[in-house]
Amino acid sequence: MSEQEQKKPFVITDRRKFSLDGTPRTDVEPSPEKETSEPAPAAKAQPQPTPAEVKSQPVAPPEPPAEDTLPPGPTAEQSERSRAAYEATADRLDTAVRAANPGADHLPPMNFERLVQSIYMTAIMQLGGATPEGEQPQVDILGARQSIDMLGVLADKSKGNLSSEENLLLDNALFELRMAFLEITQALARSAAAKAPGQPQPPNPGRPSIVR
Q: Which CATH number is correct for 111-196+206-212, 1.20.1060, 1.10.10, 3.30.56, 1.20.58?
A: 1.20.58
Give the DSSP H/E element, type plus range, for residue 139: strand 138-139
Q: What is the mean pLDDT of the chain?
A: 78
DSSP-assigned beta bridge partners for residue 41: none
Q: What is the DSSP string of 2-37?
A: -HHHHHSPP------SB-TTSPBPSSPPPPPPPP--
Helices assigned H by DSSP within the chain: 3-7, 51-56, 76-100, 112-126, 141-157, 164-194
Residues 51-72 pLDDT 10s: 656 555 666 666 665 656 778 8
pLDDT in the model for residue 71: 84
Residue 49 CA to residue 46 CA, distance in Å, equals 9
For residue 42, pLDDT over 70 is answered with no
The percentage of residues in the chain with a pLDDT greater than 90, rounded to a whole number, is 38
Domain boundaries, the chain: 111-196+206-212
Q: Does this model's pTM top 0.75?
A: no
For residue 137, pLDDT over 60 is answered with yes
For residue 77, pLDDT over 90 is answered with yes
Question: 184 with 139: CB under 8 angstroms?
Answer: yes
pLDDT in the model for residue 211: 43
pLDDT in the model for residue 85: 96
